[in-house]
Structure 1
Amino acid sequence: MTVRPTWWRGSGDLTWLVALGAALWGTDALLRTPLAGALPASSIVFWEHLIIVVVLLPWLPRAWRAFRAMHPRARAAMVVIGAGSSALATVLFTLALMLGDPITPLVLQKIQPLVAALGAAWLLGERLRRGYWAYAVPALIGAWLLAFADPLDVGVRALTAALLAAAAAVLWAAGTVLGRYVGAASAASPWEITVLRFAIGLPAALVVLLVDGGPIAVTAGQLPPLVALALVPGLLGLALYYPGLRRTPAARATLAELAFPVTATVLGVTLLGGTLTATQVVGLVVVAVSVTALGLRERSRRPVVAAVGVRAPGR
């Protein structure tokens, strides 16, 4: 008989738990950046998923039964979360760290709330009012300023790193919306969704590794940081995140996830030797102010995203 965690049960909003899980993601670059200098991105991501799945083996049968009981649309969403938001997004993010500086790919994750709001409007039925774009447009301009040391002189390498980081942000934002959808449209627990995310992500990561041609074997010295990377920002972060997401509206949850780039930026400047140009600082401020203002507006009597209840397909 397997045992699954039940400590999230109870009542009340759990936005703080989403933020705590996201803050753990912010420690990712401390472990990922040194590894990125020694291993291809595909090898790192494959080993992350392999280590986590080995740890989660006792819970796989129950998670598989929960997956089989889902509506087909919920199963499709779960596959996108595992293959896209877990495996592919992490590969793209690692590549961005390899090509760019240690800060810009992290701070670009601040565009996630904007992407998630659009996704929630499309999938969850949350209605975007006209005022939404008053926050979205400045944030996108700020993201451009932030992405490049000189926004008027963009090199191919810097552009590639920014596009990779932005693509990762889009996939992770999609994971937020789809995770909220699966939690509402199925009987799967947050823990089962966590297990399925990595179980589905593992074969996807293996496919990416085989296509990339990266090495499967790692050295004894590389294994400890890979284990730490997999278990702390990876498994522990999501083990906190999904229970919080179950009782947190998507628009609010994705704002709580800003704890990730904020924590990562502070660590990047203080411990990884990262720096920002004057225009990048301006971009950072514009993005932070726009997204924070959006978050405050969402908690007013007339939010720009009108949230509705998520109804399970077929009900």
Structure 2
Amino acid sequence: MTPSLPTAPRAATRAARTDRTWMVALAASLWGLSALWRGPLARELPSLTIVFWEHVLLVILVSPWLLPALRRLRAARPGTVAAVLVIGAGSSALATVLFTAAFRMGDPITPQVLQKLQPLFAVALAALILGERLRPRYAAFLLPALVGAWLLAFPDPLAVGVSSAQAALLAVGAAALWAAGTVLGRYASAELRFRDLVALRFTIGLVTLGLLVALTSTPLQVPRTAYLPIVLLVLLPGLAAMVLYYLALGRTPASRATLAELAFPLTAALVGVVVFGTRPVPTQWLGIAIVLVTVVALALHEQRSSTPAVVSRDRADVDA
């Protein structure tokens, strides 16, 4: 009798025990709670003020990682340094400001569900920045997602209001910048560790926000009633969700992680309906469904298909 027979069930048991899909779902649920605090804050304070104080607290929390990260950054290639600067200034500072501003102009559900467009932006940016190749079938995922986003963003898709258009554009801009951070993070991770990227991201973001505050003369005073919501934003949808997500990702199959991430828009929708009394119209629910189905379909297709819509640079070179 070969030893491989009895070990197979044990291996499956170990895999089941180490699977962390539940952690991805928990992280995604924490992201979905963001509207509980970001929405009310955005209606009382400038978006720049909120995001500035978020970054102050985040930099304090990751400060033990900062000096080693700066040493590694100094030894990195110019391309890596440029990527980190864009991640900090764009994906951390500007994206969060845009996302927060979207809550002031729109409902508490739309800005969050539109973040599910990030994978589509990330795929296109990976082709542009990392040299990955897009096949024509990518359009089969992109076009339905854009239709779904349009239906979601506008209660009457044929009569677009200025306020709803601004909110949607702000949210989509944030999604694009966060997607750029994902792609550039992959590029920079060849020389920097996860903790280096986190520390540098928030620190550069804080410096950028400080410059924007100075240039725009944005007031930084916040009422005492805002202290707790800002702290909760930092600890729950911010740091806790990020740590849970990255701890889980290495031990969670991509297909399961993608499905578990649906907890994000579902939680956001639940918070919007139950807490804030938002009532999406039927076409908006249809838009939510189209966006979610498209993103899940893209993830499953890329994992399982022998001819994915996106070809990595190495594979593209081989095919050529």
Within the candidate set 271, 289, 295, 1:291 is matched to 295
| In 1, Cα distance between equivalents of 2:187 and 2:22 | 20
Listed one character per residue, the Cα deviations across residues 227-265 of structure 1 (whole Å, up to 9, x for unaligned) are: 111122112222334456679999998887554333322
Work out the percentage of aligned pairs sharing the same amino acid.
Answer: 54
1:83–1:201 Cα contact (<8 Å) kept: yes
Instruction: Tell me the CA shift for residue 36 of structure 1.
Output: 1.4
| In 2, Cα distance between equivalents of 1:102 and 1:208 | 26
| In 1, Cα distance between equivalents of 2:263 and 2:188 | 23
Aligned to 1:133: 139
2:226 pairs with 1:238: no
Pairing of 1:241-256 with structure 2 (within 5 A): 241-242=245-246
Task: Flag the 1:172–1:254 CA change in 2: closer, same or farther, 3 A.
Answer: farther
1:180–1:246 Cα contact (<8 Å) kept: no
Task: Flag the 1:116–1:26 CA change in 2: closer, same or farther, 3 A.
Answer: same
Aligned to 1:307: 312
Task: Flag the 1:277–1:163 CA change in 2: closer, same or farther, 3 A.
Answer: same
Instruction: Tell me the CA shift for residue 212 of structure 1.
Output: 3.5
Task: Find the residue that maps to 2:277 and give its secondary structure.
Answer: coil
Moved more, 66-75 or 140-149: 66-75
Task: Find the residue that maps to 2:44 and give its secondary structure.
Answer: coil
Listed one character per residue, the Cα deviations across residues 117-154 of structure 1 (whole Å, up to 9, x for unaligned) are: 11112222332222111111111111111110111111
Aligned to 1:190: 194
Instruction: Tell me the CA shift for residue 58 of structure 1.
Output: 2.3
| In 2, Cα distance between equivalents of 1:70 and 1:142 | 41
Larger radius of gyration between Structure 1 and Structure 2: 2
Alignment-mate amino acid for residue 46 of structure 2: P
Instruction: Tell me the CA shift for residue 41 of structure 1.
Output: 0.4
Aligned to 2:185: 179
Aligned to 1:277: 281
Task: Find the residue that maps to 2:136 and give its secondary structure.
Answer: coil
Pairing of 1:1-315 with structure 2 (within 5 A): 20-183=26-189, 185-186=190-191, 188-242=192-246, 259-302=263-306, 303-308=308-313
Q: Which has the higher helix share?
A: 2
Task: Flag the 1:97–1:233 CA change in 2: closer, same or farther, 3 A.
Answer: same
Task: Find the residue that maps to 1:116 and give its secondary structure.
Answer: helix
Gapped runs of 5+ residues in structure 1? Answer: 1-11, 311-315
Task: Flag the 1:197–1:255 CA change in 2: closer, same or farther, 3 A.
Answer: farther
Listed one character per residue, the Cα deviations across residues 80-117 of structure 1 (whole Å, up to 9, x for unaligned) are: 11111111011001111000111111111121111111
Alignment-mate amino acid for residue 282 of structure 1: L
Moved more, 41-50 or 141-150: 141-150
Listed one character per residue, the Cα deviations across residues 57-87 of structure 1 (whole Å, up to 9, x for unaligned) are: 2221112112212211111111111111111
Relative to the length of structure 1, the TM-score reads: 0.85
Listed one character per residue, the Cα deviations across residues 185-222 of structure 1 (whole Å, up to 9, x for unaligned) are: 21x22112111110111011122223343221222221
1:173–1:254 Cα contact (<8 Å) kept: no
Task: Flag the 1:180–1:198 CA change in 2: closer, same or farther, 3 A.
Answer: same
| In 2, Cα distance between equivalents of 1:287 and 1:247 | 26
Task: Flag the 1:248–1:198 CA change in 2: closer, same or farther, 3 A.
Answer: farther
2:93–2:209 Cα contact (<8 Å) kept: yes
1:26–1:261 Cα contact (<8 Å) kept: yes
Task: Flag the 1:269–1:151 CA change in 2: closer, same or farther, 3 A.
Answer: same
Relative to the length of structure 2, the TM-score reads: 0.84
Aligned to 1:3: none
Task: Flag the 1:272–1:114 CA change in 2: closer, same or farther, 3 A.
Answer: same
Question: Aligned residues, how many?
Answer: 297
Moved more, 201-210 or 77-86: 201-210
1:113–1:251 Cα contact (<8 Å) kept: no
Computed over aligned residues only, the root mean square deviation of the Cα atoms, in angstroms, reads: 2.7
Task: Flag the 1:67–1:159 CA change in 2: closer, same or farther, 3 A.
Answer: same
